[in-house]
Structure 1
Amino acid sequence: MSALLTAFAPIWMLTAIGYAVGRGGLLGPGAEAVLGRFVFHVAMPAALFTMVSGARPGAFANPSMVAFAAGTALACGLGFLLSGRLFGRGTADRAIGGMVSGYVNSANLGIPVAVQVLGDASFVAQIILFQVLLVSPVILTLLDSGTESGAGAGGSAVLRRMLTMPVRNPIILASLLGLAVSALGLRLPHALAHSCELLGSAAVPTALIALGLSLHTRPADGEATPTGGSGPGRAGTVLAVALKTVFQPLIAFAVGGPLLGLPGPQLLAVVLCSALPAAQNAFIYAQQYGLDTRAPRDAVVASTVVSMATLSLATWALGTFGT
């Protein structure tokens, strides 16, 4: 438990600092939007480029990743489907609903948890690549097609927007550039690599500060959202948290255990990483696409709290396999 507390402490502290800053009005009324744009357009692309350019994309082609990917696909897919069926959300909001249901906080929480509990963060690196290179582009494409800029467009316009997505979206563009550098075996000049690394290191803390700011500026229940809806409310948060912290790790366990027969330590790694809470990227994505940020924000905060119990339970239940 102490290891988990150590891993979670920075998340809570930075979010609390963001709330305190917002409550004190230190950064002005537009701080949340400005910080969100900085993360989405500058810091996060730098972090992803640095991460992908120094990694091997083929690293996630293994049975453990198959089990993790199965849990992710089913959780995201079910979150996307139920957000529309139960709450009548549009395509873009359903994409965010799917994201908070299955996109794990792999970087700033997954790495310390893996190091503390598993003693090795190599599997988390594979998860980061999987989410950046495969999951994020799908989510961003749905967001693009479901917002005003993509809605109502003709067939040729939709195709044109999909084809130009990598150029227009800084997250995808940075990931593809990093993939190209990795595939070509290029080594960036030290000054450039260090600058990208330094800039990218601001992504996570700034996103958490923005998340904390949003907690202070929370709209009242029933207040109109940017897309004109009222939001799924508590029921949507409960659904997303249940899918993220319970359903996803259970699917990963079922696929990795009975179906694939993974060894104990690998099964523990898959289930533990699948039980990680929702990533704050969902809040940033919703903010930048002009969507209702209440649902992703509440799901990120609630899943972070609940995952303390589910991560502890997974470690206790499966930890004996790793001995």
Structure 2
Amino acid sequence: MTLVSAFVPIWILTAVGYVACRWGLLGEAVASVLGRFVFHLAMPSALFLALSRMPLSGFAGRSLLAFGMSTAAVVGFGWVAASWLFGRPPVERPIWGMAAGYVNSANLGIPIATQVLGTVSFLAEVVLLQVLVVTPVILIALDRHSDPAGRVRVRRIASLPVRNPVILASLLGVACSAADLRLPSAADTSLALLAGAAVPAALVALGASLHRTAAPSRAEPTGPAELAVIATLKLVAQPVIAYAAGLALHLSAPQLLAVVVCAGLPTAQNTFIFGQEYGVGETVANRAVVVTTTLSLGTLAAAATLLG
């Protein structure tokens, strides 16, 4: 399968979800229900199995460093640009930075990695980096700005791994790998079946959500200039920086492909979820998710073709 043809099933299943939602075949709540299924069951199963079967010595340190450098550069610039370019208040800057550089490593990352890279091993490392390093930074900043006294709710941050099934499954997978534990055959098979549903369910949910969010909204739209800057940072600047960092770190061609593809993933839906939770930046987060998700199917195929 060529790199471009690897995207064909992704486009088809996304279109199936869009058409099914448009024709009302699956009900109004299809995107929400499938999204919760993927987030709470299928995705954690896939990440747990990938990490539990991967020796800790197999973690790609230099590749993860290259990806981390691109994330830090783009999130940091977006954080500052929100104020410099568009006058966003301090409380919205974390969401703006997240929209520019926090990749959708789960819902879209899993099917992309499976189809293009053939494995979710590096993607699982990206998930760990984002949820254990980037997410706490974002949440601490949002907590500090949302609290009248500027306090940080440490207990809420500390309990994040327990409350988030993706983080919890990733940590359990690492623990099983470190202890060389293997699940009973029945449990392993059950998780494998759930993991197999992650890709098609995530893509159908993605297509359904694109139809839902494309419907007319009464919310005041974010300016096109903001969306253009966010999309450029997310889909162009971040993978380019990751590529340059990978070259500087002497990554192999397959490693470069994995780093660039993961860095080129669109804005994570968690951006909107966090904005909704704290009541800030909801509009810009929602529009950024829709725009970057739509455009990324083309930019990712182009990047994979060039590197291939």
Report the counterpart of residue 157 of structure 2 in structure 1. Answer: 162
Report the counterpart of residue 272 of structure 1 in structure 2. Answer: 257
Report the counterpart of residue 304 of structure 1 in structure 2. Answer: 297
User: Which deviates more, 200-209 or 230-239?
Assistant: 230-239
Does residue 182 (structure 1) correspond to residue 177 (structure 2)? The answer is yes
Distance 1:17 1:299 in 2: 19
Report the counterpart of residue 206 of structure 1 in structure 2. Answer: 201
Residue among 269, 284, 289 paired with 1:283 = 269
Residue among 163, 187, 192 paired with 1:192 = 187
Pair 153,202 (structure 1): closer, same or farther in 2 beyond 3 Å: farther
The answer to whether the 8 A contact 2:54-2:177 is kept is yes
User: Which deviates more, 85-94 or 4-13?
Assistant: 85-94
Distance 2:304 2:141 in 1: 34
SS at match of 2:124: helix
Pair 158,284 (structure 1): closer, same or farther in 2 beyond 3 Å: closer
Aligned residue identity for 2:213:
R
Distance 1:58 1:85 in 2: 43
SS at match of 1:179: helix
Pair 159,17 (structure 1): closer, same or farther in 2 beyond 3 Å: same
After TM superposition, list the pairs within 5 Å mapping 1:14-163 onto structure 2. Answer: 14-83=13-82, 85-87=84-86, 88=88, 89-92=92-95, 94-100=97-103, 106-114=109-117, 125=121, 127-141=122-136, 144=139, 151-152=146-147, 158-163=153-158
The answer to whether the 8 A contact 1:75-1:247 is kept is yes
How far apart are 1:281 and its partner, in Å? 7.8
Q: How far does the alpha carbon of each residue in 1:152-190 deviate from its partner, in whole angstroms, 9 at most, with x for none?
A: 276776111111111111111111111111111111101
After TM superposition, list the pairs within 5 Å mapping 1:234-249 onto structure 2. Answer: 234-249=224-239
Report the counterpart of residue 255 of structure 1 in structure 2. Answer: 245
User: Which deviates more, 184-193 or 99-108?
Assistant: 99-108
State the TM-score, normalizing by the size of structure 1: 0.76
Pair 289,173 (structure 1): closer, same or farther in 2 beyond 3 Å: farther
Report the counterpart of residue 314 of structure 1 in structure 2. Answer: 307
How far apart are 1:200 and its partner, in Å? 2.0
State the TM-score, normalizing by the size of structure 2: 0.79
User: Which deviates more, 32-41 or 276-285?
Assistant: 276-285
The answer to whether the 8 A contact 1:141-1:162 is kept is yes
The answer to whether the 8 A contact 1:91-1:143 is kept is yes
Structure 2: give runs of 5+ residues left out of the alignment: 277-281
How far apart are 1:13 and its partner, in Å? 0.7
Aligned residue identity for 1:47:
A
SS at match of 1:202: helix
Aligned residue identity for 2:157:
M
Q: Compute the RMSD of aligned alpha carbons.
A: 3.4
How far apart are 1:212 and its partner, in Å? 0.8
How far apart are 1:12 and its partner, in Å? 0.5
User: Which deviates more, 31-40 or 78-87?
Assistant: 78-87
The alignment covers a number of residue pairs equal to 296
Distance 1:288 1:137 in 2: 16
User: Which deviates more, 297-306 or 245-254?
Assistant: 245-254
SS at match of 1:187: coil
